[in-house]
Structure 1
Amino acid sequence: MITQNPLPNLTFEPMHSCDLQEVIKIENECFEDPWSEIYYMLSLKRPRSYEYFYVARREHTIVGYIVFSILYEAAHILNLAVPTAYRRQGIGKYLLTSALEMIQAHDGREVFLEVAVSNLPAQYLYRQFGFRICGIRKNYYGRYKDAYVFRKGVETHAV
């Protein structure tokens, strides 16, 4: 799998503390119950070896980000966001493809994620990548806001 760049000058790079202002702005725009700036700040200040925070940057502007973990052979996409102004340009696919390449490189065998039952665009994106519903989490996003659990197997490297 080779990541195709959907936009000129688009990079996939680790998130840094100096990116937080832009990330939090996107987080607040995209989610009803956004992650706190403190969570991001603490995670970046004391990184865990199994957590990955990455941004898609076009020139000097963050146009999306992804947070995922890889623990043993299982990976978990925890957060993916692209601001409204940059949607439908392939940035979400670029972020997801880049993360899946890293997961594969770290010998991840399966990937899980949750997506709101009502979030049809995200479900469509994940289905394009071969994710399938394997369960439901009741009230995952708050009272009466269920989430589907999606799963995908990851191809392993040939030895």
Structure 2
Amino acid sequence: MERGVCYISFIDKEIVGVYVLINTRPHTIELVNIAVKEEKQGMGIGQFMILDAIERTKSLGVKTLEVGTGNSSLGQLALYQKCGFRIVGIDRDFFIRYYQEEIIENGIRCTDMIRLSINL
């Protein structure tokens, strides 16, 4: 958190989602820790927050917004691409190197970090 700025989404004073923007390199910001309350998923809150992050980043004059997600995070991969992100790389075995416990999503073992970015 000390490296970034946290943004919070509310519905009627209830926190329903959060995301963090981190300066990573000159003219580049990374969108991290995006989360929507489980019972509020599927309502467009995640897409709203991603589009908000894009607009905030543009207003700072930043040229690139990056995000990473697991190879097994099928919904997130689709959502980022719907919002204009393009796949730019794969960090192979990321979740094996940095996470002690195995992650399974959608019946798929999460092993690789899929890196996406959008040029602003």
- Cα shift readout 1:13-52 (whole Å, capped 9, x = no counterpart): xxxxxxxxxxxxxxxxxxxxxxxxxxxxxx3xxx45xx21
1:59 matched residue in structure 2: 12
**Residue correspondences, number:** 107
2:73 to 98, 119, 136: 119
1:72 matched residue in structure 2: 26
Q: Provide TM-score, normalisation by structure 1.
A: 0.63
1:128 matched residue in structure 2: 82
1:151 matched residue in structure 2: 117
- Cα shift readout 1:90-142 (whole Å, capped 9, x = no counterpart): 10011111111110010111111111000000001100111111110122223
SS at match of 2:54: helix
Task: Compare the two structures and name the one with the higher strand fraction.
Answer: 2
Aligned mates of 2:78, 2:60 — CA distance in 1: 26
1:33 matched residue in structure 2: none
1:100 to 51, 54, 58: 54
SS at match of 2:84: coil
Letter of the aligned partner of 1:126 in structure 2?
Y
SS at match of 2:34: strand
SS at match of 2:96: coil
Task: Compare the two structures and name the one with the higher helix fraction.
Answer: 1
In our comparison, the structure showing a higher alpha carbon Rg is 1
What percent identity do the matched residue pairs reach?
A: 24
Structure 2 gap segments, 5+ residues each: 98-109
Question: How much is the aligned-residue C-alpha RMSD, in angstroms?
Answer: 1.5
